[in-house]
Amino acid sequence: MSETKILLSERDIPRQWYNIAADLDTPLKPPLHPGTKQPVGPDDLAPLFPMALIEQEVSTQRWIDIPEEIIDIYRLWRPTPLYRARRLEQALDTPAKIYYKYEGVSPAGSHKPNTAVVQAYYNKQEGVKRLATETGAGQWGSALSLACKLFGLECTVYMVKISYQQKPYRRSLMQVWGAEVIPSPSPRTQAGRAILEQDPDSPGSLGIAISEAVEDAASRDDTKYSLGSVLNHVLLHQTIIGLEAKKQLELAGDYPDVVIGAHGGGSNFAGLAFPFLADKAAGKEVRAVAVEPTASPSLTRGHAAYDFGDTAGMTPLLYMYTLGHQFVPPGIHAGGLRYHGAAPLVAHLYEQGVIEAKAVPQRAVFEAAVQFARTEGLLPAPESAHAVRAAIDEALLAKEEGKERTILFGLSGHGHFDLAAYDAYLAGELEDFELPQEAIDAALAHLPKAD
């Protein structure tokens, strides 16, 4: 049997991120100030982000150098392995070749540290002492906690209160890495106090937590804000995944017909797929499929429109595929995919017909995850399992059609934090959520009015 894992050495860690903004046929629609509806400039963003990240956010330079200090941190878990899923292929009896890029080897167990360490680095460079962010179940918050600790920054994470209470383990992980974790809504901010006055027992929401983190950062000179997905610079940093995967497939003498990634805010999908889309821009045939939950179908059932990035309506307006910023997805276990919109870059490519999207229901996702775990061994995070489902479906289609094809998907994290979800699946207690059109329409009615 030939090799199962295609490994790179640390010398092969890419030295530049790939910026897809350089290869767009039409320019990205800029973020707008919600009051004036005019494009926001660097000065509008400066209270929240360091200038280096703002520059990356608007850059159209194709390749952006990765600082040596970041490479040295990436060495702690990168390059990550690319696997050939031979045992899964055999179980499916498919003529397709299946590869997966595994990001679960990072200390946080997911792809999130790829951008967290970069954001911490640039903030440190510009003299920032402290970062504030929000987290739902805790994946992003734990990644940023780690990143801040590695660069000697303080970190405050506003964690949705219901998760803080019900999912204490990710909170503990953040605390092990030295972060201050505040259940949100909190008395710490005006936004939090306003909610608590109305409802002292509020369970919180990601939207409220964002409001608190943004207010915290905006109101303190030593503090800036950090976001784990959606923004251009976040997607940029994650391209390290796809750039490595390209090198690894080259070593294997292969190239994907289709690249598949789970899609929430967009950074995981973009990180894997964008470097391949560079080839597509150069004329090569490659499909890219973003896989989202039927419970939160921003690409497949949302509208292309300007909308707020957060539930509370505090951010600039971003041109996204969106279900409306007040859309609250049902409580699926893939918490990282419960977001109302798609990153502007992903939305742009989808609107242009460059990429595909597909929504999959929860039980089919866990069915695929269990099949994967029983053949390949590794236990997928529920988010990542969306890509597993779509990859298996592609492989089964190849079998039906009797055609070879090469499938690459992203296994963005391990599921060792998510066994309660597997337990519920095995007990037959998981629900599928096919949203009625009225629910979608009701949420879309809250889109901000265009002027």
At closest approach, how far in Å is the CB of 92 from its own copies?
Answer: 16
Q: Which of 314, 370, 396, 440 binds its own copies (CB under 8 A)?
A: 370
169 binds its own copies, rule: CB under 8 A: yes
Q: Which residues, 6 or more positions from 172, have their beta carbon under 8 angstroms from its beta carbon?
A: none
Segment interacting with its own copies (CB under 8 A) among 44-52, 121-129, 283-291, 412-420:
412-420
378 binds its own copies, rule: CB under 8 A: yes
Tokens of 171: 């909170």
Segment interacting with its own copies (CB under 8 A) among 119-127, 158-166, 169-177, 295-303:
169-177
Binding residues for its own copies, total number by CB under 8 A? 45
385 binds its own copies, rule: CB under 8 A: no
d(CA 139, CA 169): 11
Which amino acid type is present at position 106? S
Question: ∠ CA(372), CA(267), CA(347), 5° rounding?
Answer: 110
At closest approach, how far in Å is the CB of 278 from its own copies?
Answer: 27
| Distance, CA of 380 to chain centre | 15
At closest approach, how far in Å is the CB of 118 from its own copies?
Answer: 15
Q: Which of 318, 357, 422, 435 binds its own copies (CB under 8 A)?
A: 422
Q: Which of 60, 61, 90, 172 binds its own copies (CB under 8 A)?
A: 172
d(CA 269, CA 292): 10
Which amino acid type is present at position 295? A
Q: How many CA atoms lie within 13 A of 259 on its CB side?
A: 29
Segment interacting with its own copies (CB under 8 A) among 203-211, 258-266, 302-310, 374-382:
374-382
72 binds its own copies, rule: CB under 8 A: yes
Which amino acid type is present at position 398? A
In the region spanning residues 7 to 36, those forming contacts with its own copies, defined by CB under 8 A, are 7, 9-11
CA torsion sign, 437 to 438 to 440 to 446? Answer: positive
CB atoms within 10 A of CB 127: 9
136 backbone φψ class: left, alpha, beta (φ>0; ψ -120 to 50):
alpha
In the region spanning residues 84 to 103, those forming contacts with its own copies, defined by CB under 8 A, are 87
Which positions touch its own copies (CB under 8 A)? Answer: 1, 3-5, 7, 9-11, 72, 75-77, 87, 105-107, 109, 146, 149-150, 168-173, 175-178, 370, 373-374, 376-379, 414, 416-417, 419-420, 422-423, 426
